[in-house]
Amino acid sequence: MANTIPLRSKINKKFTWNAESVFKSAKEWEAEVSAILAELPNVKKFEGRLSESADVLLEGMRAVEALANRTYKIFMYAGFSYSVDTTNQKSAALFGKAQGVAGQVSGALSFVNPELIAMGKTKLDEWMKGNDKLAVYAHGFEDLFRQQAHVRSGEVEELLGMVGDPFGGAQNSSSMLVNADFKFAPAKDKKGKKVEITQGNMHTSLMESPDRKVRQSAFESYMDKHLEFRNTLAANLNTSIKNNIFNMRARKFDTSLQASLFGLNIPESVFHNLINTFKKNLPVWHRYFELRRKALGLRDVTYYDMWAPIVKSKPKVPFNKAVDMISESLAPLGKDYVDVLRQGCLKDRWVDIYPNKGKQNGAFSWGVAPDTHPFIMMSYTDEVGSMSTLAHELGHSMHSYLTGQNQPRVYNNYSLFVAEVASNFNQAMMRGHLLKTVKDKNLLIALIEEAVGHNFFRYFFQMPTLARFELETHQRVERGEALTADSLQELMADLFAEGFGPKVKVDRPRVGMIWSTFSHLFSDYYVYSYATGISGAHALAGRILRGEPNAAKDYLGFLKSGSSLYPLEVLKKAGVDLSSPKPVEETFAVMESYIDRLEELVG
């Protein structure tokens, strides 16, 4: 286990993201920022004129779209630069500037929806019939009028657009505190040797260490630093939730859950189906936790034991080998899909691969901006878990790539609700292939550990638990109740204690701060979509693995659809209905089959 993490400047360029393919330099980025701000008056000239004619409307929509795409590109570049090295003050300044520009652009473009609504759907339908180029916006117009009751006047919309930047302050404050300012006391192994803790290695090599002393001391040090700043962290989350409630009320929704799901046309029953099905299946998790305790030979199992390796010798999977194994697993999707994926990983530098000091915790894929390909940030450690993370993020990237290749720019995106389907699909396909073809017992155990103890534990245990936490905290603020560091800590500890069951030892003060390690909570009602995503993914992968007719074609159709349909509709076309609890139940059945296999392998 490496005890030191290199500085960003020491990472070989070939292992970093291809930043220069987006902007050749920060100077070029600055020039584009200036050009975007200079373009604002040219777009604002369409304000009050969209109803003049179909041609003027089309010209205005294209101008708005082009400016939004350019803004996304500068935001992506700055955000990614900051994420790979949060200690770099120049990158932090770029990101802050990009957020400010995005707020200005959002405010400048806010006139569009109120004017379209004032024109009326009848007039727009008539114009689209006579103008094929305008007709491409049909789904967007339809969705706008669906949301009509919650679109405010042009003046109010402009203000709501402008508050986006300052409303991001709570998240920025927490990110800078946790990722850049926190310095953790080193962990210690069973021999007393110190091991450095960073955001990059905490959730990989440290929590996955076979040395329980390393896991315990790392967990305690990591969470104690969060406890030290619990009041600040709680205040930031409370501010973010109040921002959500403000937007809910400004747009005249009854609840924050309704406000969040309404935008994607998702009924609240989808959220509640997930939570209810999760609670019903908690005994499946309790069975796994007990199996883990026995396999590890422990008297009691704790939070920091959830990632401990059951295998005696961790299989090594270097980056290039992982790309090969992932590619083989995805062969049913066709040569074109696999070739693009391989080139992105091995030639075009889609992936910022290895850990470095200041690198943000976790992994993500940033979607396609105009004239770019997708990018992935991660901290690869040559282990099965890293291979699975790579497969996951490549699912996002290929979703972005195929959407970009097949949709006009107006639909060249997709919602968070469907995003986690594509990522978890890749992991489900990888396991389906490798569990049938691999003979090495250690690798089989590691694959199942990764599946249940990492992917499922995060998506099908932690995320539903956080979703319950999120719902309760929002409801408390909606009722006018105060959120304090104590109340957040108690609520989180209670929910994890219920989820873990009676045989897992819960360190309530530290486990009660787990919420502060998930930046996802600053995107309201996002975490639940991880669990619906993994459910949709296994339902769709199951169709292909069972050899159902047209299953691969249907799935590729889903990847190519972008936001041209509502999320539930595009998934139904691909073969899964997430308005029903059935996919969640099916995924618990898949998880049980993994537990059965693990029991056989470990005796």
Which residue among 157, 208, 383, 393 is the active-site one?
393
Is 380 in contact with 80 (CB distance < 8 Å)?
no
Q: Which of 428, 426, 423 is nearest to 363 (CA)?
A: 423
Is 353 in contact with 319 (CB distance < 8 Å)?
yes
Question: Alpha-carbon distance 98 to 77, whole Å?
Answer: 9
Question: Alpha-carbon distance 129 to 401, whole Å?
Answer: 31
- Is there a catalytic annotation at residue 393? yes
Is 34 in contact with 95 (CB distance < 8 Å)?
no
Is 314 in contact with 211 (CB distance < 8 Å)?
no
C-alpha distances out from residue 152 to 68, 125, 266, Å: 21, 22, 21
Backbone angles phi, psi at 175, to 5 degrees: -65, -45
Q: Which two tokens stand for residue 239?
A: 């501010």
**Residue 275 CB contacts under 8 Å (≥ 6 apart), including other chains:** 464, 467, 468, 471, 528
The per-type count for the chain, helices as H runs and strands as E runs, is: 28, 7
Residue 184: strand, helix, or coil: coil
| Residue pointed to by tokens 């929590």 | 207
DSSP 503: T
CA torsion angle 168 563 393 342 (round to 10): -140
- Active-site residues, by number, are 393
